[in-house]
């Protein structure tokens, strides 16, 4: 009996010991597993910390590179201003010197500003031209005298070989008493006697009016470069400006309306320009997404950023320029600019650089619009004129051109 009890107790002790060992083993395994999980968690935490550090380093590197890019752009912009601006600054310095000499000599203001004075030496006989200004408009009133430092508003007028149109534009501006704000830009003959005579006629017409300055070139720059130079000069000189080619005839209220409209859009970041020669299409609204270069104005603050890109486009190799326009003219951009059937900017932009269509593209890329004047204050009268691209007069009387003949402009004054 005693032996039986002893064996039973021994078995119970063995069983209990086995259970304790089993429990110890389970605890040991659990501890080992927990340690492994902890190690994995620590490794993951370390990896995350390393990734975060790499991310911070990459972000710091990105910010550093962006700072470098900003600095490089700033330096390039400064270099560009030096390359483009210094000759113009020199031009103004020379003009101011000439103005002082002219005033000391007691000569009229009309003598001031000519970069290259008209000369008959070596010139051929100019073709006869007929004045289109009616007798009742020939006499212009005394002009308002503007301070030399007045930056408010300036007018750029372009001429080359159409003295009759130049006379009409300046006469209209004279009746608006704005000649003291007018800068006349005349391209040169590049040593060609057959061109010099008629250009001399244009310069002589301009010299009859008391304009602020006559910027005449000896070399033939071409209208694109003349426009870019004029944009630079005018935006450096004035806060608001109006650009008129000699075939863009201004009505009697043109300058007053442009000054008011430009003052309005100066506060509108998404509007680039004001134009006075509407396209006359059903889809044309007060704010239009297509730029109009026939009688337009803008502010210095709006023009300078676009002008910087416009100059870059002008200096591009033509293949590079066409590659740029091809990439830039997405479906969205085409929907903004190609809104004047019969006169679509993309047609030109696929072929060559044109200052007005490129301006249209650059402003569209910025999401900017253009404001039409409430009434037409510019009439394009270039159809059929010498030097005009528009020879089929009747065709170009219709939208989107709406051109008139040169002998009709005073009916709309």
Q: Where are the domains of the chain?
A: 109-411
> pLDDT grade, residue 38 (50/70/90)?
confident
pTM for the model:
0.70
> pLDDT grade, residue 119 (50/70/90)?
very low
> pLDDT grade, residue 9 (50/70/90)?
confident
Question: What percentage of the chain carries pLDDT values higher than 70?
Answer: 84
pLDDT in tens, 237-260: 999 999 999 999 999 999 999 999
Burial of 30 (0-12, 13-18, 19+ CB in 10 A): exposed
DSSP states of 127-162: PP------HHHHSPPPPPP--TT--SEEEEEEESS-
pLDDT in tens, 168-180: 999 999 999 999 9
> pLDDT grade, residue 88 (50/70/90)?
very low
DSSP states of 153-220: EEEEEEESS-HHHHHHHHHHHHHTT-GGGEEEEE---TT-HHHHHHHHHHHHHHHTS--SEEEE-SS-
Question: What percentage of the chain carries pLDDT values higher than 90?
Answer: 63
pLDDT in tens, 370-411: 999 999 999 999 876 554 555 556 889 999 999 999 999 999
The position carrying tokens 């889809």 is 283
In this model, does residue 113 exceed pLDDT 70?
no
In this model, does residue 84 exceed pLDDT 80?
no
Q: Is CATH 3.20.20.70 the classification given to domain 109-411?
A: no
Parallel, antiparallel, or unpaired for β 240-245 and 378-380?
Answer: unpaired
DSSP state of 373: P
């Amino acid at each position: 009996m005693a032996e039986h009890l002893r064996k039973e107790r021994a078995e119970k002790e063995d069983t209990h010991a086995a259970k304790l060992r089993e429990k110890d083993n389970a605890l040991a395994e659990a501890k080992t597993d927990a340690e492994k999980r902890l190690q994995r968690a620590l490794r993951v935490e370390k990896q995350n910390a390393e990734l975060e550090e790499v991310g911070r380093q990459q972000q710091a590197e990105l910010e550093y590179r962006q700072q470098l890019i900003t600095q490089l752009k700033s330096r390039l912009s400064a270099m560009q201003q030096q390359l483009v601006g210094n000759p113009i600054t020199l031009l103004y310095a020379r003009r101011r010197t000439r103005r002082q000499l002219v005033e000391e000599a007691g000569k009229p203001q009309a003598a001031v500003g000519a970069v290259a004075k008209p000369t008959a030496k070596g010139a051929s006989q100019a073709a006869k031209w007929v004045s289109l200004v009616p007798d009742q408009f020939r006499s212009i009133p005394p002009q308002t005298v503007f301070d030399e430092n007045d930056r408010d508003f300036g007018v750029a007028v372009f001429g080359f070989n159409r003295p009759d149109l130049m006379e009409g534009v300046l006469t209209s501006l004279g009746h608006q008493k704005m000649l003291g704000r007018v800068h006349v830009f005349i391209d040169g003959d590049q040593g060609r006697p057959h061109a010099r005579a008629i250009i001399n006629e244009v310069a002589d017409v301009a010299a009859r009016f008391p304009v602020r300055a006559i910027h005449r070139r000896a070399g033939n720059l071409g209208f694109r470069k003349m426009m870019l130079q004029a944009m630079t000069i005018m935006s450096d000189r004035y806060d608001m400006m109006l650009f008129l080619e000699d075939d863009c005839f201004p009505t009697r209220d043109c300058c007053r309306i442009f000054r008011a409209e430009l003052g309005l859009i100066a506060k509108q970041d998404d509007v680039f320009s004001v134009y006075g020669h509407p396209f006359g299409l059903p889809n044309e609204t007060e704010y239009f997404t297509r730029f109009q270069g026939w009688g337009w104005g803008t502010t210095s603050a709006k023009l300078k950023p676009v002008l910087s890109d416009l100059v870059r486009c002008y200096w591009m190799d033509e293949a590079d320029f066409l590659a740029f326009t091809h990439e830039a003219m997405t479906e969205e951009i085409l929907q903004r600019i190609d809104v004047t059937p019969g006169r679509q900017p993309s047609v030109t932009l696929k072929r060559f650089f044109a200052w007005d269509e490129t301006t249209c593209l650059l402003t569209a890329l910025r999401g900017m619009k253009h404001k039409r004047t409430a009434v037409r204050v510019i009439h394009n009268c270039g159809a059929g004129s010498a030097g005009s691209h528009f020879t089929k007069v009747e065709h170009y009387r219709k939208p989107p051109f709406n051109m008139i003949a040169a002998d009709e402009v005073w009916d709309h004054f």
